[in-house]
């Protein structure tokens, strides 16, 4: 070996010793890019998906998380009612969660959108928006739901900030202020007692002709909850914080918070295309172990329950991950 070759070899060894993190990261990236076959594919990488991934990573399962990086609560200022994380921003919680899951090197991440899926003899095949194709023995959908916003001007700007959906997630921060419930009939009556517990100044805005039973109206009157039947044209706000609600007849009413019960749809149609059943409310139907109606497919988080909280997403993701690992272990034993 010539002196030049010896120097070249020594330099290569020195580089490998001084840059172990870069080499490891590069290798992991290449493995993810080259590997098309996984034990589990998790579609959705927010709280539920990351929770499932941690459980599976700790069980040494070969996992791929496909996530668009656009969680539905990205506009919400702070997350609440989750032990150890109360008051953190949604981004803070998900960032810490991802960093922790990344420590398990059998879990890979792909920023992309799953657009198609089908059942195959060995399990399932998933295709992404960028044309990548992956297979897995099991699927976990942690895709959440997409809220269908009212066409009211200013509504979407306030959503998750001062126009909110959940008394448990946001009610304490909006207690003891003049509050509206933008809903009608049974849906409004369902949430009224919960909000009435947080404020003595509550009004229901039906945004249409009211649809209450006589007994419900008497109960609302008993608790001094007014009902306004006018259609809403605009929500006046400052940086998402509600100031006034404007009605189509030109009148205005001051409010500082509003609960809105709005329709939703599934973020992805893939579970339905593969055969997963939905509930009457439009959630993916699961049993108490997060198993859907299709063998080998699980769902967790708010795509499969009306309980829309970070704590619930993490809990059901943990269950889904554990049950998938149990199925894989039994199949391989």
pLDDT in tens, 101-133: 999 999 999 999 999 999 999 999 999 999 999
The pLDDT-based confidence of 143 (bands split at 50, 70, 90) is very high
Examine the domain organization and report whether 71 and 125 are in the same domain.
yes
Per the domain annotation, does 89 fall within a domain?
Answer: yes
Per the domain annotation, does 4 fall within a domain?
Answer: no
Last residue of a domain, one of 260, 289, 322: 260
Would you state the structure tokens that stand for residue 288, as one six-digit string?
Answer: 């108490």
The pLDDT-based confidence of 94 (bands split at 50, 70, 90) is confident
**Which pLDDT belongs to residue 85?**
80
Last residue of a domain, one of 220, 244, 260: 260
Examine the domain organization and report whether 133 and 166 are in the same domain.
no
Examine the domain organization and report whether 289 and 272 are in the same domain.
yes
Per the domain annotation, does 26 fall within a domain?
Answer: no
The pLDDT-based confidence of 69 (bands split at 50, 70, 90) is confident
Examine the domain organization and report whether 248 and 187 are in the same domain.
yes
Would you state the structure tokens that stand for residue 305, as one six-digit string?
Answer: 């329950």
Examine the domain organization and report whether 58 and 123 are in the same domain.
yes
Q: What is the pTM of this model?
A: 0.84
Per-residue pLDDT of 260-303, as tens digits, reads: 989 999 999 999 999 999 999 999 999 999 999 999 999 999 99
Radius of gyration of the chain (CA): 25
Per the domain annotation, does 143 fall within a domain?
Answer: yes
256 secondary structure, DSSP code = S
Examine the domain organization and report whether 273 and 325 are in the same domain.
yes
**C-alpha to C-alpha distance for 227 and 216, rounded to whole angstroms:** 11
Per the domain annotation, does 25 fall within a domain?
Answer: no
Quote the number of domains for the chain: 2
Domain of residue 46: give its range. Answer: 35-147+264-332
Per-residue pLDDT of 301-330, as tens digits, reads: 999 999 888 999 999 999 999 999 999 999
Whether the CA torsion 168, 171, 176, 182 is positive or negative: it is: negative
100 secondary structure, DSSP code = H
**CATH code at position 131:** 3.50.50.60
Under 8 Å between Cβ of 173 and 79: no
Would you state the structure tokens that stand for residue 264, as one six-digit string?
Answer: 């939703």
Of 55, 26, 27, 28, residue with least CA distance to 40? 55
Question: Is 146's pLDDT higher than 60?
Answer: yes
What is the distance, to the nearest Å, from the Cα of residue 211 to the centroid of all Cα atoms in its chain? 31
**Which pLDDT belongs to residue 31?**
41
Of 198, 138, 153, residue with least CA distance to 327? 138
Examine the domain organization and report whether 163 and 307 are in the same domain.
no
Pairing of strands 226-228, 202-205: parallel
Last residue of a domain, one of 260, 281, 310: 260
């Amino acid at each position: 070996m010539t002196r030049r070759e010896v120097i070249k070899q020594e330099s290569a060894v020195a580089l490998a010793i001084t840059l172990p993190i870069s080499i490891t990261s590069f290798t992991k990236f290449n493995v993810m890019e080259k590997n098309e076959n996984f034990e589990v594919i998790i579609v959705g990488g927010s709280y539920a998906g990351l929770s499932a991934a941690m459980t599976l990573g700790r069980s040494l399962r070969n996992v791929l998380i496909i996530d668009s990086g656009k969680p539905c609560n990205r506009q919400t200022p702070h997350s609440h009612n989750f032990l150890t994380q109360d008051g953190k921003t949604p981004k803070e919680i998900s960032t810490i969660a991802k960093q922790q899951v990344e420590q398990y090197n059998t879990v890979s991440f792909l920023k992309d959108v799953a657009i198609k899926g089908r059942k195959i003899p060995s399990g399932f095949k998933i295709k992404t928006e960028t044309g990548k194709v992956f297979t897995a023995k099991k699927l976990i959908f942690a895709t959440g739901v997409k809220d269908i916003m009212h066409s009211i001007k200013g509504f979407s700007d306030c959503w998750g900030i001062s126009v909110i959906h959940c008394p448990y997630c946001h009610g304490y921060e909006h207690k003891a202020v003049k509050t509206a419930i933008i809903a009608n009939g049974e849906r409004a009556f369902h949430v009224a007692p919960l909000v009435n517990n947080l404020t003595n100044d509550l009004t229901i805005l039906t945004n249409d002709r009211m649809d209450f039973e006589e007994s419900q109206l008497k109960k609302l009157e008993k608790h001094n909850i007014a009902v306004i039947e006018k259609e809403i044209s605009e929500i006046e706000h400052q940086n998402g914080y509600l100031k006034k609600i404007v009605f189509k007849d030109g009148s205005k009413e001051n409010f500082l918070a509003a609960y809105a019960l709005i329709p939703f749809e599934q973020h992805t149609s893939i579970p339905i295309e593969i055969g997963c059943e939905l509930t009457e409310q439009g959630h993916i139907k699961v049993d108490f172990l997060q198993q859907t109606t299709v063998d080998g497919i699980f769902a967790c988080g708010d795509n499969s329950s009306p309980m829309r909280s970070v704590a619930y997403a993490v809990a059901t993701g943990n269950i889904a991950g554990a049950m998938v690992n149990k199925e894989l272990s039994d199949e391989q034993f």
